[in-house]
Amino acid sequence: MVFEILLYALGGITLIQFIYYILIFGRFSFSKSKSATASNIPISVIVCAKNEAENVKKYIPLILEQNYPTFELVLIDDASSDETRDLFEEFEKQDSRVKLVKVDNNEAFWGKKKYALTLGIKASKYEYLLLTDGDCYPTSKNWITEMSTQFTQQKTIVLGYGAYEKVKNSFLNKIIRFETLLTATQYFSWAKIGKPYMAVGRNLAYKKETFFNVRGFMDHMDVRSGDDDLFINQAATSKNTTICFSEDSFTYSEAKKTFKEWFNQKRRHVSTAKHYKGFNKFQLGLFYFSQLSFLFLAIILLAFQYQLMIVAGIILFRYIFAWLSLGFAAKNLKEKDVIYWFPIFEIFLIFTQLNVFISNIFSKPTHWK
């Protein structure tokens, strides 16, 4: 009787997974990037950096080389202790399109990236903003063009893809890129069905008016992180949000090199997600619960060899549709190499996520300093 209940539970969980992977994620996975007519609207590109001297040397020139007629580059130095500010000052002297915003430590907003970004946004002269981080770079000279073409009179928020560089023969790098693929598939898919809930600050665009309509970051200024996802969770709607995932619109950055660094990064992300709207926490929690439950139920039923053929059929069916959905998403986001080891990566992420939840219960993660 117990095993029969577990079998029915496995079937129910598989149905939930099918709804997620095919009916929801499929809205992005099976779609194609749509080309749009170049708008050539003036754009303010905003880069916030803190102690990123080595990166800004390499990456700021790539932004200035963008093939776009009218844009300014707002460089925000968030109280850096290295040469970041000096480098920004040089860029400002050399190029009239560069505007430097210097942020000193403020007792009321000590170390808060949201405070620095707010000053940068206020200093920008154009209505349309395109944001990235100091450790990121565009994949092509058409990055601004690709992201800006998605703006319309109604669509004032554009969610982009912030990818990570590939490192050969690195299991950790593939894990990080697989998780990034899965996360992007989720927020792109929910945006396409009219339920946008997050974005990544590595590649995000929105109208200044949209920012100020929700008082910027004020409603979550006390949360150290979330300048990207908490803002989108508050400001994005089915009417004002769209996505951009053409290859030329991607940005790249270097992934964490150690498991400890990546694990701490995940802890920050999870601690921010608890501030999402109720429905968003529910849909994310249900997806993770279905992943974890499917794994445990499958292991128990296989271990006791209960209705082996039926159980094996359900497991096979689940992995086929999940692999298919993520495979097409990986094709869209140029991450096809990480999908080959999908079952292993998924199991690894499930237990890592469980560890993150437990760790965050007993201690707080560190944030932008």
pTM over 0.95: no
Q: What is the pLDDT along the chain (369 residues), one digit of tens a residue?
A: 888 999 999 999 999 999 999 999 999 999 998 776 778 899 999 999 999 999 999 999 999 999 999 999 999 999 899 999 999 999 999 999 999 999 987 655 554 889 999 999 999 999 999 999 999 999 999 999 999 999 999 999 999 999 999 999 999 999 999 999 999 999 999 999 999 999 999 999 999 999 999 999 998 988 888 889 999 999 999 999 999 999 999 999 999 999 999 998 888 888 888 899 999 999 999 999 999 999 999 999 999 989 999 999 999 999 999 999 999 999 999 999 999 999 999 999 999 998 988 888 877 666 544
Q: Which residues lie across from 99 on neighbouring strands?
A: 74
Contact 355, 59 (CB under 8 A): no
308 Cβ neighbours under 8 A, 6+ residues apart: 302
